[in-house]
């Protein structure tokens, strides 16, 4: 299948000295073993916390019962919470509110993207990756509901579960990423050679991720599986540990911190400036912070989303933070390399 291309009318800045790359779903795609990885991750969570993999019909039945009870009895906090969370998940394309339903929604979105169509009522720019924290919270609350009806005591309170989302090495986030984070990543020799070509041309390359930097299934392991260990120096890799509590989509401080850390390793008389920096992302909303920090921005839409021919108003608003669009990271790296080489030939 031919890879899509986008017109790119904006020139790159005269001097590009630093490229910062996103990691998750940008440097590696989700492929056909995604479903198995999700199920392995969920079974791991199920084993550790006793949260069942609710099948679509069972989950939907419990949710409908909770919605009815919430209408009859607004003071029932558990049923009201389940009802509100279900509506939120439904609005993002997860009507089953179950792992199986989530996978069905993901496969359906992939089929639609491949066919070039769009389902009625669904926007291309919706996030269709698994909202696993919401799914885990939903599973926990459905289990609480079952427990209340059977008078069985739940193993964790809601506050205890919330604390375990980020708790140490056994936190739900790390447990999930141990399976999802690197279980289906394969070496990408083409990507390695393109990044190496940029560094050979004197352009520094860094990685900025909302994954943790260290740990099983985290950023360093993902980069190693891609073949990028050593190609991008470790001190230019920034994970959740370094950028917390800031988030890429809201805070320019994320990018300012990363740029300051890189400049601290350079000659203080020759710092890299924000306008000499490019931030490349697959999540368009995350580019807002980079744009506020004064950086050039590159958006690579994920394969299951694509860039529609007629963007919605919501997407058009987000595109204000985008300078360049490419179909793949490979296209972006090739285009940047060609621009750099052409500028040097003109000297």
66 and 80 co-located in one domain:
yes
277 and 214 in one domain? yes
CA distance 239 to 205: 15
CA angle 252, 253, 256 (to 5 degrees): 90
Q: Rounded to two decimals, what is the model's pTM?
A: 0.62
Mean pLDDT of 117-134: 45
Query: Considering only 24-28, 165-169, 191-195, 235-239, which range has the smallest mean pLDDT?
Result: 165-169
CATH number at residue 235: 3.40.50.1000
End residue of a domain, out of 133, 159, 180: 180
**Are both 190 and 286 inside the same structural domain?**
yes
- Comparison of pLDDT for 326 and 6, the residue scoring more: 326
Over 90: is that where the pLDDT of 105 sits? no
Helix axes 132-150, 77-91, angle to 10 degrees: 150
Residues 238 and 259 in one domain: yes
The pLDDT of residue 340 is above 50: yes
Residue 99 lies in a domain: yes
pLDDT of residue 121: 36
- Domain closes at, from 118, 153, 180: 180
| Domain containing residue 105 | 34-180
Residue 57 lies in a domain: yes
In a domain, 299, yes or no: yes
In a domain? residue 337: yes
- How far apart CA 130 and CA 170 sit, in angstroms, is 20
For residues 264 and 306, membership in a common domain is answered with yes
Q: What pLDDT score was predicted for residue 28? A: 79
Among the candidates 160, 180, 200, a domain finishes at 180
Per-residue pLDDT for 196 more than 80?
A: yes
pLDDT at 130 over 70: no
For residues 307 and 317, give the distance between their C-alpha atoms in angstroms, rounded to a whole number. 14
Residue 103: pLDDT band (50, 70, 90) is low
DSSP state of 315: H
Strand ranges across the sheet with 18-21:
237-238, 204-208, 18-21, 277-281, 296-299, 324-325
Q: Answer yes or no: is pLDDT of 305 > 50.
A: yes
Give the count of domains, the chain: 2
C-beta separation of 138 from 101 below 8 A: no
Q: What mean pLDDT is predicted for residues 231-253?
A: 83
Q: Are residues 157 and 141 in the same domain?
A: yes
Q: What is the pLDDT of residues 39-84, one digit of tens each?
A: 777 777 777 766 666 667 777 888 889 999 999 998 888 888 888 8
């Amino acid at each position: 299948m031919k890879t899509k291309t986008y017109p790119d009318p904006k020139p790159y800045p005269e001097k590009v000295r630093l490229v910062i790359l996103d990691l998750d779903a940008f440097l590696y795609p989700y492929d056909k073993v995604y479903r198995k990885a999700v199920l392995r991750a969920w079974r791991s969570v199920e084993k550790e916390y006793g949260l069942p993999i609710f099948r679509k019909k069972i989950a939907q039945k419990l949710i409908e019962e909770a919605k009815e009870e919430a209408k009859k009895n607004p003071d029932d906090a558990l049923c009201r919470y389940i009802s509100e969370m279900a509506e939120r998940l439904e609005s993002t394309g997860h009507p089953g509110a179950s792992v199986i339903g989530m996978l069905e929604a993901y496969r359906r979105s992939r089929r639609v993207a491949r066919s070039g169509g769009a389902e009625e009522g669904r926007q291309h720019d919706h996030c269709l990756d698994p909202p696993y924290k919401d799914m885990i919270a939903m599973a926990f609350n459905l289990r609480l509901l079952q427990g209340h009806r059977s008078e069985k005591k739940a193993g964790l309170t809601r506050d205890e579960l919330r604390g375990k989302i980020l708790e140490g090495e056994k936190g739900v986030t790390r447990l999930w990423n141990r399976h999802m984070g690197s279980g289906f990543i394969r070496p990408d020799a083409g990507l390695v050679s393109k990044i190496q070509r940029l560094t050979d041309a004197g352009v520094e390359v860094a990685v900025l991720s909302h994954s943790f930097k260290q740990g099983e299934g985290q950023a360093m392991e993902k980069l190693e599986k891609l073949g990028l260990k050593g190609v991008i120096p470790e001190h230019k890799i920034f994970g959740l540990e370094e950028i917390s509590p800031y988030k890429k989509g809201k805070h320019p401080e994320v990018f300012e911190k990363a740029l300051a850390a890189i400049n601290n390793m350079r000659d203080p008389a020759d710092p890299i400036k924000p306008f000499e920096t490019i931030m490349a992302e697959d999540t368009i909303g995350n580019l807002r912070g980079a744009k506020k920090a004064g950086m050039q921005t590159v958006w690579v839409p994920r394969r299951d989303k694509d860039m529609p021919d007629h963007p919605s108003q919501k997407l058009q608003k987000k595109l204000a933070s985008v300078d360049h669009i490419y179909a793949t990271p490979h296209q972006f790296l090739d285009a940047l390399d060609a621009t750099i080489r052409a500028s040097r030939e003109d000297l």
